[in-house]
A and B are shown apart, each in its own frame.
Chain A
Amino acid sequence: EAGVAQSPRYKIIEKRQSVAFWCNPISGHATLYWYQQILGQGPKLLIQFQNNGVVDDSQLPKDRFSAERLKGVDSTLKIQPAKLEDSAVYLCASSGLAGRPSDTQYFGPGTRLTVL
């Protein structure tokens, strides 16, 4: 079974530029998550989708971050404009047992963003 795919793996931009990340979850997984992992910290949930609807975006900085999952499969996360503090690894995860407590999340390799 193929895992969660993410691209690009690395991105370097200057502050105030825009950037987009892409994620393709495990086939058949209805739930998709974007996490931000700042160096030396654990991942923090930014947004969670159930199919193509948002169920939790309480920690998404909505003035600069946006995400969509239009067809309920792959997803993009965008930052516009980027700030220095956005430098982090952006992890995508998916899970397949929607709403069940035993729903386990599987993570992709992440996109490492450096903002100069």
Chain B
Amino acid sequence: GEDVEQSLFLSVREGDSSVINCTYTDSSSTYLYWYKQEPGAGLQLLTYIFSNMDMKQDQRLTVLLNKKDKHLSLRIADTQTGDSAIYFCAEKPSGGYNKLIFGAGTRLAVHP
């Protein structure tokens, strides 16, 4: 089946690193995505990783993929108050029409 799970809440101090975790169930997923949603806004694509990769780095963002455990993580280095938002993990199962399956989102709160 298709299911994506995330922890609901994470609180970090400004300047520390944040790690948001996600597990998914469809081992055939081709791509995995991280989206950011700020209050009252739509989803902003942060980064994505192809399923044959283990890691992808993009400035302050590092994505780690453990395909064996179906575990995805997003690390934000030097977390700032502007990073406070809800972060959604999404998988794209193979064989679908480009359909995305989203987790419920992790609310990141950054405090001074």
Contacts and interface: CB of A to CB of B under 8 A. Distances in A.
Interface stretch (A11-19, A36-44, A63-71, A74-82): A36-44
A56 B42 contact: no
B88 A42 contact: yes
Contacts of A109: 40-42
B90 A104 contact: no
Interface residues of B, number: 26
A107 B26 CA distance: 23
B96 interface: yes
Nearest to A89: B42
B61 interface: no
B44 interface: yes
Contacts of B40: 109
A52 to B, nearest CB: 15
Interface in A48-68: 48, 50, 55-56
Given A42-B88, A101-B92, A107 B104 contact: no
B67 to A, nearest CB: 15
Given A48-B97, A101-B92, A42 B45 contact: no
Contact of A95 (B90, B94, B98): B98
B35 to A, nearest CB: 8
Contacts of B105: 41-42
Interface of B: 4, 30-31, 33, 35, 40-45, 48, 50, 88, 90, 92, 94, 96-100, 102-105
Q: Identify the 8 closest CB pairs spanning chains A and B, nearest first.
A: A42-B102, A107-B42, A107-B43, A101-B30, A55-B97, A109-B42, A56-B97, A103-B98
Interface of A: 4, 6, 31, 40-45, 48, 50, 55-56, 91, 93, 95, 99, 101-110
